[in-house]
Structures are given as structure tokens and as C-alpha cells.
Structure 1
Amino acid sequence: MKLRTISTALVLTGALLGSGAATAAPAAVLAGPDIPVAAIQADLAQLQSIASSNGGNRAHGRPGYLASVNWVKSKLDAAGYTTRVQSFTTNGATGYNLIADWPAGDANNVVMVGGHLDSVTAGPGINDNGTGSASILEVALAVRSSGFQPGKRLRFAWWGAEELGLVGSTHYVNSLSTTDRSRIRSYLNFDMTGSPNPGYFVYSASGQPSGSLALQQTLQGYFGSIGVPTELTSVGGRSDHAAFARAGIPVGGTFTGAEGVKTSAQAQKWGGTAGTAFDRCYHRSCDTTSNVNATALNRNADAIAHAVWTLGA
């Protein structure tokens, strides 16, 4: 996740916060398979290995990033996805976006899910954003293994050079024709979904394109159904949903926190340690496979699957 200040607004699942306060969406009817957290952790171990073999990171313009793209692509190709690698240039180096379409469903009604695959140069980027990348990958693979037959076209994306200013996702959106943009009915972004001292944040629809509220409520509804309270977060231009929002495409997503400090109220609600960052290894060399909370990783992956199955039906 690109470094930037972010604000949050509290939304307790199933509880009234006071006069005129918003409440979370009602519990959802569960859709989508359980995504095995062990499979996601195995993917994170692979991304860690790629970084370790390539100078300790998976940053834009570095060999670890392209190796990450090639590895994810190989998994998707084997599962029957139609994949393409889109290149762009920034900071004097070639970057890459990986786009994967499931070859079924209405191509004029696209549900898109994405997250950035690059790390900063300081470390391997396992929570930021190996967690979102691996979770999206396992949800994509579950489309094949479950036999899901979506009515809409499912498109998954892994963005390059997010850490340099959302470059890859912006390049992708800007490269679309007006018609192709209009075909994307929603974009869901997952960036840092396994922070070691996690919060459970859902992107707020406030100020976002029309249609974003349904995405917010779909994600809130999932967490409500498993008894996990959420807070709405105004992520602004901090991650790859921003280019889609500027294009008028409804956006949503989840986030488990970065350099922000967990409050006492949040620790009481979610567990963990008050007065400590959600991710003390944010943008540091210690963002390794030991820097991930398996429970948060598991819950967020299942939330992604629920959203894909609900919106893509």
C-alpha cells in the first residue's frame, strides 16, 4: 500500500452508535467457498522465496517482481484463465500488470478484483501486498475447482508499481476504451489483508461512485455473518481502486491496517495490542511470512470469495 495518511469512521456490526449514526448492513446470506488459509500461506512462502532469491524484494523494475508475475500467471494459465501481461514504463524501468479473465459469463458485465503485487525495495512485501495478491489468486483458482458458473465475467488483476504512485492500475484504466470502461460494473481492491495486529476495515462508499454502497454492504454483510465487527475506512487515493473511482466505476475493498496505531477501543473489539501499529513492519525488511496474522488472512480471503460469488452470479 502506498504511504499516505488515512482516516477511519467507526461502524459496529449490528449495533447503533448513537443518534443519527450509521449501522452495518445486515448479515448476508453466505455465498462462495471456504478458501483454505494453508493454500494462501503456501503462496506467501513462494513469494518470500522469490524475494529471497532476487535481492530481498519484489519491487518494480527488480527481478523479483517479474518472477512474481510469471509465477502467478503460470498458476492461472494452468487453471484455464485467459491471461495477459500489460507492460508500462516508469522510473526508467518496465513494469507489468497481470490480467486474468475467467472465460465464461457476460463480457459486457465485468466484476473485477485486484491488488498490487509489487513490494517496496526495503523488503519482500509479504503483508504489503503478498496477502491480498495470494488471497485473490486462491479465490480465482477456487472458481475453477468449485465449478462456479458466474453470470458475469470475472476479471482478476495484479498491479505493478503501486508503491511508486498507483502507476500500473492507473495505466490500465487509462488504456481502456470508453466502451471497455463501461463494461466494468465494479472493482474490488484488496491491499494488506493479514496485518499482524489486525483491524477489520471496509472501504467506505462515501464520496465514491454510485453503486459503491452495494459493494460496501456486501463486504460488511459477510463480516457481520461471522460475528466480526468492522469499521469503515476512507482510503482515498492510497491504493489501486483510486483510478477506477476516478473513471466512475463503483469501488470497494477491505484492509487490515498499516502504520496506523490500534486504539484501546479497537483492541477491545478485535483483540491484539493497543498503542501498537496494525503492521509494525510496514514498508520494512521484516515484512516477511512471520508478519502475517492467519486469522485475519483467512477471514478476508473468505470475504473476497463471498463478494465474487455474490456479485458475479
Structure 2
Amino acid sequence: MAPRIKLAAGVSVVMLLTGGSIVGAAPAPTAAPTLAAAPDIPVANVKAHLAQLQSIATANGGNRAHGRTGYKASLDYVKAKLDAAGFTTTIQQFTSSSRTGYNLIADWPGGDTNKVVLSGSHLDSVTAGAGINDNGSGSAAILETALAVSRTNYQPTKHLRFAWWGAEELGMVGSRYYVNSLTTANRQKISGYLNFDMIGSPNPGYYVYDDDPAIEKTFKDYYAGIGVPTEIETEGDGRSDHAPFKSAGVPVGGLFSGADYIKTSAQATKWGGTAGLAFDRCYHASCDTTANINDTALDRNSDAIAYAVWSLSQ
């Protein structure tokens, strides 16, 4: 037996059967769009990339510096991974200090190319060492984030681009060359540039750039969600690859885990240790190897990168 239908006053069976509307009835609620959640970035995968960069440095005079064979081998390693994952890669060549340098740009097919979310890290080291924290850490983390985009077949609303810059250690030469090569129209298409330089420091702080408010909030929301306090990064302006983008009017943001020293007792209380303790005693030194990485910082910051890339591109 069919269930009885109790009709509201004034509602006819014909209206129900024909799909007629009821005057004055509330419209059916519209479901909010479901946003794609960022995947966890396996820190083991990020560390595997760091091990490869260490091996490259060891096989090429102990470094991956601009104009040296270790840099080009590092770029070839990253490019091969991205090509296999379905990215469209471009190598941009420039000259600095009478040596040839290279930027690597990787675009994920799809998304609105008038709204580009660009994530970047410098791939070069200083000549003194392998540069695993500075800046293999940022380079490996955005590489693994890009590979996660491919693994999940992520299809964002905005267009995703990743970049590995050359000759940062000589004064942001590669990133400045890239920004200067863009037309005004193409610079305006970059809705945000995210920079990651030294994100695995052995005695880490969790620093968030205080530039673009929306990007800053995205990172701070992530860390608040996992109960990790953050500091505002105000000392890095002009010291890393976000500077040329900021100067060109592009919204910028990023993460940093410390290169210098704990300067105050308040910082010492927050991060542990005592005032005067180095965040990274191997900064720009030969001991910046795979042993010079804090796994927890690398893991948290890699996940924060993915969270920002997914959040800002939808």
C-alpha cells in the first residue's frame, strides 16, 4: 500500500504530480561547493629528494652552486621528475658572474591562466657546501608538492606553476631575471607568489612572511590548526626570491625556519634553547648536509605548502 500523502492547504495532487511549484515555499537549499583537501606530503619522499641532491653535490665537487656542474645536475633531476609527472617544463637561461645559470619553470596543465598561483624555491647552494637546508629543503618540498598535484590529478580553478631559481645566492639573480622577462600583463596574471627558502633548520622557528594578508592568513590558519605557534618574518625582505616579485607588485608570502640566531629571551622561551643559540649553525657552511635537517620542521612546512597551494588555487 502506498503511503498516504498529507497535503498542505491549497496544494493539489496535480501540482505534486506535475512538479508544479508552491507559491511562497522556501527554495531548496543550495549545497556549498566542496573544496578539495590538500594531501599529506610524505616527509620520507621529501627526504629522498634531499638525498639525491646530496649525492649530486658529492659527485660534483661538494656543492650545487651557480655555474657549477652540481647545479645543472640538480636541475636535470628535478626536471626529469616533473616531466614524468605530466608537467610542462621550461628552462630559462641567463648569465651571471660570467657563468650560465638556469631557472626551471613547471606548469600543471589546466586552470585559469589569467590567475596563476606560483610557488618557488632557489635550487642553488653556496660554493662551500651541498646546501641541503639552504635550499634543498624548499626545493624538495615544492617538488614533492608538485608531484602530489599529479598523483591526485588535482584540477584547480586557478593555474598552478612551480619554479626553481638559479643564482639566488648571488643576489636573487634568477628570480629577478624571470620577473623582468614578464610583460606587465603576465605579471598581473600572477595572483600570488609563494616562496620557500630554508624550511628544515635544525633548531627551527616557524616564520610566516607578513606581506600579503590573505597568503599570510592561509599559512597561519594551517599552523593554528595543528597547534604550532608562528612568528612573523619581517627580516627576510630583500634576502630571498620573493623580493623581485614584491617589487613588481605581485602579492607574496612564504615560510622560513631560520638562518641566524635566537636573539631574545622571548624567542628562546618559544622555540627552546637560550638566546644566542643558532637556528642553523651550518648556514652557508660545508656541514649543510642531509644531517643538517630537522625532520619535524621539514614535515610540517611541506604539509603547509600543500595546504596553501590547494587553498589558494580553488
Alignment partner for residue 96 of structure 2, among 90, 93, 116?
90
- Contact residue 30 and residue 306 of structure 1 kept, 8 A: no
User: Alignment partner of 1:32: what SS?
Assistant: coil
The match for 2:221 is 221
Paired positions, count: 279
Gaps of 5+ in 2: 1-34
Greater alpha carbon shift after TM alignment, 269-278 vs 101-110: 269-278
The match for 1:108 is 114
- Letter of the 1:34 partner, please give it: D
User: Alignment partner of 2:93: what SS?
Assistant: strand
Runs (4+) of structure 1 exceeding 4 A deviation are none
Distance in 2 separating the partners of 1:114 and 1:300:
14
Gaps of 5+ in 1: 1-28, 206-211
Distance in 1 separating the partners of 2:293 and 2:273:
13
The match for 1:21 is none
1:96 deviation in Å?
Answer: 0.2
The match for 2:27 is none
Q: What RMSD in Å do the two structures reach over aligned CA positions?
A: 1.3
2:252 aligned with 1:251, yes or no? Answer: yes
Distance in 1 separating the partners of 2:205 and 2:255:
10
- Contact residue 30 and residue 222 of structure 1 kept, 8 A: no
Question: Structure 1 residues 273 and 134, CA, compared in 2 at 3 Å: closer, same or farther?
Answer: farther
2:303 aligned with 1:302, yes or no? Answer: yes
- Letter of the 2:242 partner, please give it: H
1:261 deviation in Å?
Answer: 2.8
- Contact residue 262 and residue 278 of structure 1 kept, 8 A: no
Question: Structure 1 residues 273 and 132, CA, compared in 2 at 3 Å: closer, same or farther?
Answer: farther
Distance in 2 separating the partners of 1:31 and 1:258:
31
Alignment partner for residue 181 of structure 1, among 173, 187, 190?
187
- Letter of the 2:292 partner, please give it: N
- Contact residue 262 and residue 268 of structure 2 kept, 8 A: no
- How big is each residue's C-alpha offset from its partner over 1:135-166, in whole Å with a ceiling of 9 and x where there is no partner? 00000000011222111000000000000000
Higher RCO (C-alpha 8 Å, min separation 6): 1
The match for 2:200 is 194
TM-score, normalised via structure 2 length? 0.87
TM-score, normalised via structure 1 length? 0.87
Rg (Cα) greater in structure: 2
1:30 deviation in Å?
Answer: 9.5
Percent of residue pairs identical: 67
The match for 2:242 is 241
1:274 deviation in Å?
Answer: 4.5
Distance in 1 separating the partners of 2:95 and 2:177:
10
Distance in 2 separating the partners of 1:274 and 1:133:
30
Distance in 2 separating the partners of 1:166 and 1:80:
28
Distance in 2 separating the partners of 1:146 and 1:268:
40
User: Alignment partner of 1:290: what SS?
Assistant: helix
- Contact residue 198 and residue 272 of structure 1 kept, 8 A: no
1:273 deviation in Å?
Answer: 5.5
